[in-house]
Amino acid sequence: MPSTRVKSRCTLHILIVDDDVNHGRSVKDVLAAHNYPADVATSGREGLTRLRDAHTADQPYQVLILDLHIPDLMGVDILRAIQEDGLTVKTVVLSGESDLSSVAPILKLGAYDYLRKPFQVPELITSVANALSSFQLEQENKAMQQEADSNARLYQFLLNASPDLIYM
């Protein structure tokens, strides 16, 4: 009987989108120190292009660390585009916003987590680890559902093709 454990096809992909080059680099360094390699995009358009290209190449980013206030394309607009495009990335939003009323719309747009700047390193690492785990579980669930659907189609084919054998 084949194993139901699904192996991950994806290599670890994390993208940081932050127009502040130094802040983006420091987040990348923090992640690297915890064995989470990451890429950095310094504009919203570059970040969205990278997300789309990686998805098209079947090597999607698993986690996006997104600054909300990016001059060329606001973080909220990136979240909307992710939703519209059906991208499966888990988004951790970093922002200096202290008003909690601005957090609710971000979460409604599909953000996985929200961290305030300046963030605490353990808080960021925990959020990224949880987002990666959630992404992997969703992918495994999707693969198992596809396998179950395939098995159901095969069973239905066998049932229709040779009903006498099934009921013996």
Q: What does the pLDDT read at residue 64?
A: 98
Q: Tens digit of pLDDT for each residue in 151-168?
A: 777 777 766 777 665 555
Q: Tens digit of pLDDT for each residue in 98-124?
A: 777 778 889 899 999 999 988 999 999
Write out the chain in H/E/C secondary structure.
CCCCCCCCCCCCCEEEECCCHHHHHHHHHHHHHCCCCCEEECCHHHHHHHHHHHHHCCCCCCEEEEECCCCCCCHHHHHHHHHHHCCCCEEEEEECCCCHHHHHHHHHCCCCEEEECCCCHHHHHHHHHHHHHHHHHHHHHHHHHHHHHHHHHHHHHHHHHCHHHHCC
